[in-house]
Amino acid sequence: MADQGMLESFQASYQRMEQALQRLVDSIAAYNPLPAASDELLAADDELGNHLETLVRHQNNVRRLEQLRRQAEDNDTRARSTLQQIADLRKDISTIPSTSASSDRATTVDEILSYARFISPTTVPPTFRKQDVQLKPIKTEPADTHMANGVATPPGGAQEEDNARDVKAEEVGAKTLRPEQAAWLDPLAGLPFEPWPSVDKIQAGALGEIQKMVEAGRDPASVLSPAEQAEADKRRAEEEERERLEELEREKRRASMFDIQRRRTAVDESDVFDPDA
C-alpha cells in the first residue's frame, strides 16, 4: 500500500514537471515567455527532488530492514539451538540417579579398623625407607652322577630322594627361611610405624625455628624473608655509608675552619707594634 502511494506520488510529480516544462517551452516558442511557467517548473522540480530523497530514504530503510530480518533469523536459529542443547542436558541430568540423605549410612569404628587391617599388608607407611638387604649366595653342591654311554645319569637313590623332596616341599613355610630371605620377602617386618615425622625432624625444620622464636619472645610474623632481609641489610649499609661520608665532610669542614682561625691568629700577632724593634 505504501509503495503504491509512493509510486502514484512520483507519477504525479513527473506529470506536473512535464506539463510545466511543456508550457514553458511553448511560451518560449511563441516568443512570449511566461514567468509563471518557469515558477511552476521550479516548484515541480523541488517537489520531484523531495520525492527522490524520500525514495533514497525508503531504499535505505528497506536494506536496513532486510539486515535486521537476517539478524533476527540468526538469533532465532541460535536460540533454538541453545534451547535444544538445554533440553538435551536436562534429559541427561534426569537420567543420573539421585541420592538422598536416607541412603547415607553411618560407618562404625570397627568397620574402619577392619578395612585398615585389610589393606595394611599392602600399604607402605609414608616414613618407610626401603633397605637393601644383601642376600648371601646359596651354595649348591652337584649331585653324584654316573656316566653311561656318554650320558650323565643320577645315582640309583636320586629318584627316591627327589620324590621325598617334592612331598616335603608342601610343608616348607616361612619358618624354614633364613633371616636374609625373610627380610627380602618382607622388608617392613620389624620397622616401627610412624604416621608423622619424628620430633628431631620437626625441630630441625621450619616449625622448630618458629618454636625457638616464640620461646625467645620474638614474633615469627615479623621475621623477614631472605630477600627482604638482604634488602634491609642493603639499605642499612647505604645509610651507614652516607652517615660516614657526612661525618667525614663535617670533620674536613671543622679542620679547615680551625686552620683558617689559626692563620688569622698568627697574622694578628705579627701586626702587633713592638717599640723595641
What ranges do the domains of the chain cover? Answer: 1-91, 225-266
Q: What is the mean pLDDT of residues 184-192?
A: 69
| Sign of the torsion angle spanned by Cα atoms 146, 152, 156, 161 | positive
Beta-strand runs (E) in 110-269: 146-148, 151-153
Spatial distance between the Cα atoms of 166 and 143, rounded to a whole number of angstroms: 17
Q: Is the pLDDT of residue 274 over 70?
A: no
Does residue 143 carry a pLDDT above 50? no
The rounded distance, in Å, linking the Cα atoms of 266 and 277 is 18
Cα 15 to chain centroid, rounded = 76
For residue 132, what pLDDT is reported? 47
Q: What is the mean pLDDT of residues 267-276?
A: 56
DSSP states of 198-233: -HHHHHHSHHHHHHHHHHTT--GGGPPPHHHHHHHH
pLDDT value at 22 more than 50: yes
Non-local CB neighbours of 131 within 8 Å, separated by 6+ positions: 187
* Average pLDDT of the residues in 135-163: 50
**Whole-angstrom Cα distance, residue 229 to residue 223?**
9
pLDDT tens track for 53-72: 888 888 899 899 999 999 99
- Indicate the pLDDT class of residue 130, thresholds 50, 70 and 90: low
The type of residue at 248 is L
Integer CA distances (angstroms), 241 to 59, 81, 228, 244, 252, in order: 83, 74, 20, 5, 17
Residue 3 pLDDT: 67
